[in-house]
Structure 1
Amino acid sequence: MARSAKKKEPTLPNEKFITCDETAKLFRVTSRTIRRWCDEGRFHPVRLGHARALPRFEVAAALNACSDGAPWTYEFTDAGELVAVTAEGKRIEWPTSDNSE
């Protein structure tokens, strides 16, 4: 019997990723919703082991699309922190909650 070759997911060498669980918290939806959005083509995840991970630039773009007309845009820092940036270039830290789930 021939051994079936596993399909390799494409990866971007210097791309930074965020998990479905982390993305769900940003959008205030469930992880299941994020996986459904991936299946619908809203995000283009890559497999990291058994988990899906989303390119941070796609998550930031989706957040910006949801906040159309807001006086800021969202972006990730090199450290992976989400910040809002005003038109003047001022960074507004993403609010964090002390009540973690």
Structure 2
Amino acid sequence: MSRRRSFETIQKSEYITISELVLLSGLRYSTLKYYTEEGMLPFHQEDIRMTRRYRRVATLERIKEIQSLKEKGLTIREIKEKLSSDSGEKSD
């Protein structure tokens, strides 16, 4: 079992875990997991059994974009289409 990293360390890290993303974003774990599974949050994963790692800055920006689009009344499907047309990014 690994030690938890300090909040300061998390804020300076290039890559963070989903649990650390919960701390930084204020969103629920289940929401972030859903966004990931829907392909809305790109991640890096060395092996299928390894922890998913998210680029801290890019992922927090993406979450803000998703939240903004939700506030405008877009559905998840519409948000996914908008995100893919804007960036063309895919998960690893």
Q: TM-score, normalised by structure 1?
A: 0.41
Tell me which protein shows more helix as a share of its residues.
Answer: 2
Q: Which has the higher contact order (CA 8 A, sep 6+)?
A: 2
Tell me which protein shows more strand as a share of its residues.
Answer: 1
